[in-house]
Amino acid sequence: SPVIVWLRRDLRLSDQAAIAAAAAKGPVIPVYVLDDETAKHRAMGGASRWWLHHSLASLDADLRQKGSRLMLRKGRCEDVLAALAEEVGADEVHALHHYEPWWRNAEKAVAGKVRLCLHDGNYLAPPGSVRTGSGAPYKIYTPFWRALEKQMPPPEPRPCLQTIAAPQTWPASDDLQDWKLLPTAPDWAGGMRNFWEPGEQGAQMRLRDFADKASRYKEERDFPSIKATSFLSPHLHFGEISPAQVWHAVGKAGGSVATFLGEVGWRDCAQNVIVQFPDYGAVPARDTFDAFPWRTGEAARADLRAWQQGRTGYPIVDAGMRQLWHTGWMHNRVRMIAASFLIKHLLIDWREGEQWFWDTLVDADYASNAVNWQWTAGSGVDSNMFVRIMAPLSQSEKFDAAVYIREWVPELADLPDGEIHDPSPVCRPESYPDRLIEHRDARERALAAWEKTKA
């Protein structure tokens, strides 16, 4: 009888343990279930839906080359999979483990209705499995990474199957176009189409590009004007490439790649945190933040909108926010600066920023997003301190963001290097906004707010 493969954020054919296990047993029916009910308010945001559409189209094309195809169904996972299993006479559903709280609930519900076989492979090690000497999971990155590194390298990735046996007849599938995952009017995805190629081939291309420059990563990764990082985050998020594939390919690139592999380890660490704290995307890990006097009301909402639109009057922040809007991605150093600016300069609750990123990032990832926002706010288990307030202007100079700013804030493109990070009123074009708040005032206000939480 046929075997169902339930695909989620693991949209690849190579190094895919669920497909390999199913194919060893019989004809395979790969299915993607669009299930917004289970995820509720964590249903995918706009940029992720755009990515998903193209990734599913690409996976279907790849499957067809192997004699298979991708089934699309909509509804609650457990209902859809149980009905499909009955319809095709399948006894088993294979899938990779996922750790977002809603996926863990869904796995329980599915397992209540059909035989569900879960496999590893989306992380360097199964989240929650790396433990201290006393058997507890880690909360903090550095000791976590030290322990995980000892278990590395991950197993060699398995090659792609030559063919995937098809059932005698295919069950009915939805039409991808009918899912309406793409924007219509306005079509905001032009910049994304130019920059990304969702799917397994796009992921392999990024990996090859990166292997050539991996040895310079450590020195260059913090400079947003240099395209020094891998751009693998959306591909890793959607599982179009496995971290084991990344590890083995980059490891062979030579040079010092430890810093890069350590960043891939952050991705594992974030999952390890949400396994322990499933509400991490909504609940600060430190109680002191329950009483934090976040700004709310009309003026704060106007500031939030200015931040979202890249009109804060701080060129580095604005460049980042516009890069995000156009491409669905932002350089990591600039994510840190822009997030810190929202939280500490504007005193707006980090959850507002987390939600904006959730909607606009093509790599929006529940664990990585929540962990990085809580880290920036100083509310997390691993935290940076709230009182360490990043100065956007000196960050911009230190990490030489001039080229980056000229690319994303075109109204400042003609300013000389000496003016670009912090345009003086004489040089600043009229179309560029005044600063929402001066750095020194923002710093004082933030420190005063922090003092109140201790009262």
Burial bucket for residue 13 (CB in 10 Å: 0-12, 13-18, 19+): buried
Contact mark string toward ligand FAD, 370..389, x via CB under 6 A: --xx--x-------------
Instruction: Give the residue with the Cβ less far from ligand FAD, 77 or 371.
Output: 371
Instruction: Give the residue with the Cβ less far from ligand FAD, 73 or 322.
Output: 322
**Tokens representing residue 432 in the block:** 């560029």
DSSP assignment letter at 2: -
Task: Give kind and range of the element (H or E) at residue 79.
Answer: helix 77-88
**222 residue type, one letter:** D
How many binding residues for ligand FAD (CB under 6 A)?
27
> By the 8 A CB rule, do 438 and 392 touch?
no
**Tokens representing residue 356 in the block:** 């904006």
Does 321 interact with ligand FAD (rule: CB under 6 A)?
A: no
Angle 154-376-407 (CA atoms, 0-180°, nearest 5)? 85
E strand map for 1-102? 3-7, 28-34, 71-74, 92-96
Instruction: Give the residue with the Cβ less far from ligand FAD, 28 or 336.
Output: 336
Among 267, 311, 344, 428, the residue binding ligand FAD under the rule CB under 6 A is 267
Does 240 interact with ligand FAD (rule: CB under 6 A)?
A: no
Among 8, 9, 97, 221, the residue binding ligand FAD under the rule CB under 6 A is 221
Does 344 interact with ligand FAD (rule: CB under 6 A)?
A: no
Cα dist from 435 to 234, 281, 393, 400, 423, whole Å: 32, 30, 12, 20, 10
Does 357 interact with ligand FAD (rule: CB under 6 A)?
A: yes
CB of 423 to ligand FAD, least distance (A): 25
DSSP assignment letter at 29: E
CB of 263 to ligand FAD, least distance (A): 4
Does 53 interact with ligand FAD (rule: CB under 6 A)?
A: no
Please state whether 193 falls in left (phi above 0), alpha (psi between -120 and 50) or beta.
alpha
CA pair distance 236, 421, nearest whole angstrom: 33
Among 174, 263, 407, 419, the residue binding ligand FAD under the rule CB under 6 A is 263
Instruction: Give the residue with the Cβ less far from ligand FAD, 229 or 272.
Output: 229
Instruction: Give the residue with the Cβ less far from ligand FAD, 71 or 123.
Output: 123
CB of 180 to ligand FAD, least distance (A): 24
Among 289-297, 334-342, 385-393, 403-411, which window interacts with ligand FAD (CB under 6 A)? 334-342
Instruction: Give the residue with the Cβ less far from ligand FAD, 6 or 357.
Output: 357
CA pair distance 191, 199, nearest whole angstrom: 17
CA pair distance 217, 228, nearest whole angstrom: 6
**87 residue type, one letter:** E
Q: Give the residue from 251, 243, 230 showing the smallest Cα distance to 125.
A: 243
Does 368 interact with ligand FAD (rule: CB under 6 A)?
A: yes
CB of 224 to ligand FAD, least distance (A): 10
Does 23 interact with ligand FAD (rule: CB under 6 A)?
A: no
**199 residue type, one letter:** G
> By the 8 A CB rule, do 217 and 260 touch?
yes
CB of 259 to ligand FAD, least distance (A): 9
Instruction: Give the residue with the Cβ less far from ligand FAD, 264 or 285.
Output: 264
Binding residues vs ligand FAD (CB under 6 A): 221, 229-233, 236-237, 263-264, 266-267, 270, 332, 335-336, 339, 357, 361, 363-365, 368-369, 372-373, 376
